[in-house]
Amino acid sequence: MRPQTKLPKVGTTIFTVMSQLAAEHGAVNLGQGFPDFAVPDRLIEELDKAMRAGHNQYAAMTGVPALRQAIARKTERVYGHKPDADAEITVTSGATEAIFNAVAAVVRPGEEVVVLDPCYDSYEPAIDLAGARAVHVPLDPRTFAPDWAKVRAAIGPKTRMLMINSPHNPSGAMLSAADMEQIAALLRDTGIFLLSDEVYEHIVFDGARHESALRYPELRERAFVVSSFGKTYHCTGWKIGYCIAPPALSAEFRKVHQYNVFCTFNPAQHAFAAMLDAEPEHYERLGAFYQSKRDRFREQLASTRLTPLPVPGGYFQLVDYSAVSDLDDLAFCRWLTTEKGVAAIPLSPFYETPPAGQRLARLCFAKNEATLDAAIERLQKL
């Protein structure tokens, strides 16, 4: 028997495809967004300690109390708002689970969710599985700034949610305080929820401030704010994230969470609880850590025929390859991987309708210097 697919537009993700191609051809993998350097020593030590202490069975459904309390303290320290650890914080098996839960919790069949293109590829499948429709609004194709007039025009009587992402994947663009005020004005006096994907919240550069939805009381009251320990602590394979939302929204979110995964990897939760309190300087210095990588990588790219775009935040570098090739981005990234030995991610899978003639690829600089040096050596030969 062949089932009628519920996700007709979905195949294998571009990240899996390009990583597999990189492995097959011995390419330097600057495609999939994972660090290739070590997890902080304390985190490994605390994980070992937690496992040896017997924290190896089911965790509390909403998250280990010590971790939720540590998240509340950290949130107050960073954003000036202390969420209720019991009623407003839920630990999840990665940010992607949190995004799925939020959509499934409040979006009903026949409703609409506004997303800003290019957007992360898990957004639309979550919307489709809720029986809703994604309404795509394009960002500026070079600056990736939103046009709030276009967003306003996309909002209608069926709109249930707006999804935002800052720092933005794939571009690294960031929303400003003025943008957040625009969002508040757009959603004021509506029943529209906000999903704020903030997984790169601590990776911001050049003295900028991350404008979390948690800083804005008017947005907090309608928002699911999603964060990622994997991105902050270089351990994407642990798949631990969390969602902060008001009590009524968290209650609905948890109804989905408990029947999706029920709970999240227990010993890692104890490790993160200890890490947050003992070494706040890790997340406080993360922007400077990655800015040095960004700056060095951009200097190296100057010796190639690729043109780097600005990177205000995150750990991805977009490059314009139009001086190298007229291939579309999917074909170019495949060629770059198989023929030149460097894996990159094309931008078109992040769009409903990619801009005509766009010649951009995404490179990840969350890598050791040796990895980036090896990639640059190959890119210099383009």
If pLDDT is split at 50, 70 and 90, which confidence band does 34 have? confident
If pLDDT is split at 50, 70 and 90, which confidence band does 175 have? very high
pLDDT at 360 over 90: yes
- Structure confidence at residue 32 (pLDDT): 85
Percent of the chain at pLDDT exceeding 70: 100
Closest Cα to residue 254, out of 382, 34, 262, 327?
Answer: 262
CA distance 302 to 296: 10
CA distance 141 to 356: 10
Burial class (CB in 10 A: 0-12, 13-18, 19+), 219: buried
230-280 pLDDT per residue, tens: 999 999 999 999 999 999 999 999 999 999 999 999 999 999 999 999 999
- Structure confidence at residue 14 (pLDDT): 84
- Structure confidence at residue 291 (pLDDT): 98
- Structure confidence at residue 10 (pLDDT): 82
pLDDT at 17 over 90: no
Percent of the chain at pLDDT exceeding 90: 93
If pLDDT is split at 50, 70 and 90, which confidence band does 2 have? confident
Q: What is the DSSP letter of 242?
A: E
If pLDDT is split at 50, 70 and 90, which confidence band does 351 have? very high
Please compute the mean of the pLDDT values over residues 55-60 and round it to a whole number: 97
Q: Give me 165's structure tokens.
A: 């992402």
- Structure confidence at residue 16 (pLDDT): 86
Please compute the mean of the pLDDT values over residues 198-206 and round it to a whole number: 98
Closest Cα to residue 268, out of 27, 66, 24, 38?
Answer: 66
**Angle, CA of 364, 226 and 285, to the nearest 5°:** 55
- Structure confidence at residue 353 (pLDDT): 95
Query: In order of start, what are the domains of the chain with their CATH numbers?
Result: 14-39+286-379 (3.90.1150.10), 41-282 (3.40.640.10)
88-127 pLDDT per residue, tens: 999 999 999 999 999 999 999 999 999 999 999 999 999 9
Least trusted range by pLDDT, from 16-25, 103-112, 156-165, 204-213 = 16-25
Q: Where are the alpha helices (DSSP H) in the chain?
A: 14-25, 41-52, 65-79, 95-106, 123-129, 148-154, 177-187, 217-220, 229-232, 247-260, 266-278, 280-284, 286-301, 329-340, 369-379
